[in-house]
Amino acid sequence: MAVSGFEGFEKRLELHFFGDDNDPAVTTMGLRLLDFESLENVLRVVQCTVVSAVGNHFFDAYVLSESSLFVYPTKIIIKTCGTTQLLKSIRPLIHLAKNLGLTICGCRYTRGTFIFPKSQPFPHINFKQEVIYIEENLPNNLCFRKASVMPSKNPSYSWHVFSSSSDNGAHFSDGEFTVEVCMTELDRVLARKFFKTGGDSAAKEMTELTGIGNINPRALICDFVFDPCGYSMNGVNGDRYSTIHVTPEDGFSYASFEYVGSVYDDQDDIVETLKKAVQVFKPATVSVSTTSHRREVWTRVAHAMEPLGLKCRSFAMDEFPTAGTVVFQTFTAARRK
């Protein structure tokens, strides 16, 4: 393991808001009415920028210099890697939403265990400090709060979760689920495919060459290649998103895959989507966090990993205010020769 390098493990922040249901501007556009300059100012505080963007009837998706941003009418998700200061976005986002007539009603923060924790700036020095900072910046109406470190047999793969909400938990959809996949020690041959070799069409070529375009063929993909290496993409499919971020350098190689689905979908789709995503990288270690109100989701994760030669090494489950059940599982492959 490298002494120091780029931090691939992302921090993820999800904020939910509510407004006047009788106001069509709130129900149809809401946070999407925020002008680009306002979003840029928030991202500047976090220490990242927009490099590519796409939108549809339901939401806007931005590829950032450090991961992704998704803006829905009453929900915003920011995912950043490296040494970004993600939690510093909470206060300005709440302020901007308030100017639109929206009030925060839910907050969820998740992350894995940093590869280079000593490189992280305030307030990301440790999880205790992160929780203190979040709570200091949330209004009192988010009175149902819980923080938890979900363990695994390997302390390098713990999952950190903070969730809070107001009395009204309706902002979290009962049938919706989120899957967050973190992969380390990527196959070296496959990781080399994420080093830039082409020109303006390098991102599109990388998406096709690596098989990422086949993970969800129905999705509109917005991709970006970094110089000299690294890759990010957002997939837009109706009102759902998926996202992939890759740090391919040997010694601290890392890739993440996240997507949103519904328990009412074909359950085999969950298995096939996960299998396709993991096969792109063939990692030695995979950790998977699922957030849902239904058990069908996390039971399918093992079904996806086992045919790839990945064995479940640890399993942890916890309940969070209105967010539902979070299940954290880790898988490892047979030692590479």
pLDDT above 60 (res 284):
yes
Give me the mean pLDDT over the 317-335 stretch. Answer: 87
Check residues 22 and 79 and name the one with the higher pLDDT: 79
67 tagged catalytic: yes
Q: Which of 15-24, 67-76, 211-220 has the least mean pLDDT?
A: 15-24
| 59 is annotated as contributing to ligand binding | no
245 tagged catalytic: yes
pLDDT computed for residue 183 by the predictor: 95
Residue 155 token pair: 């302390």
Cβ atoms of residues 251 and 268 within 8 Å: no
Q: Residue type for 255, please?
A: A
Cis peptide before 283, with omega less than 30 degrees from 0? no
Question: For all residues of the chain together, what is the average pLDDT?
Answer: 90
pLDDT computed for residue 337 by the predictor: 40
Q: How many CB atoms lie within 10 A of CB 255?
A: 25
The single-letter DSSP state of residue 9 is: P
Band (pLDDT 50/70/90 cuts) for residue 335 is: low
Cβ atoms of residues 291 and 45 within 8 Å: no
Question: CATH second-level architecture of 11-333?
Answer: 4-Layer Sandwich (3.60)
Distance CA(205)–CA(208), nearest Å, equals 5
Domain boundaries along the sequence of the chain? 11-333
Cβ atoms of residues 109 and 12 within 8 Å: yes
Q: Residue type for 136, please?
A: E
Q: Which of 57-66, 175-184, 186-195 has the least mean pLDDT?
A: 175-184
Q: How far is CA 138 from CA 87, 95, 105, 189, 275, in A?
A: 11, 11, 10, 45, 38
pLDDT above 90 (res 82):
no
Strands 240-247 and 75-80: unpaired
Q: How far is CA 310 from CA 154, 287, 301, 333, 335, in A?
A: 15, 11, 11, 5, 11
Distance CA(260)–CA(17), nearest Å, equals 19
Distance CA(184)–CA(87), nearest Å, equals 24
- The three-point CA angle 5-9-12 to 5° equals 140
- Greatest CA span in the chain, whole angstroms? 62
81 tagged catalytic: yes
Convert the pLDDT of each residue in 62-72 to its tens digit: 999 989 999 99
| 226 is annotated as contributing to ligand binding | yes
Distance CA(105)–CA(167), nearest Å, equals 8
Band (pLDDT 50/70/90 cuts) for residue 252 is: confident
pLDDT above 70 (res 250):
yes
Distance CA(134)–CA(226), nearest Å, equals 31
pLDDT computed for residue 153 by the predictor: 85
Cβ atoms of residues 276 and 282 within 8 Å: no
State whether residue 1 is helix, strand or coil. coil
pLDDT above 90 (res 2):
no
Burial 12-28 (b: 16+ CB within 10 A, else e): bbbbbbbbeeeeeebee
Band (pLDDT 50/70/90 cuts) for residue 5 is: low
Which of 68, 166, 232, 256 is catalytic? The answer is 232
State whether residue 4 is helix, strand or coil. coil
95 tagged catalytic: no
Detail the DSSP E strand segments found in 158-230. Answer: 159-165, 176-184, 220-225
pLDDT computed for residue 91 by the predictor: 97
Which of 245, 256, 287, 289 is catalytic? The answer is 245
Check residues 212 and 301 and name the one with the higher pLDDT: 212
Which of 16, 48, 65, 67 is catalytic? The answer is 67
Which of 81, 105, 222, 229 is catalytic? The answer is 81
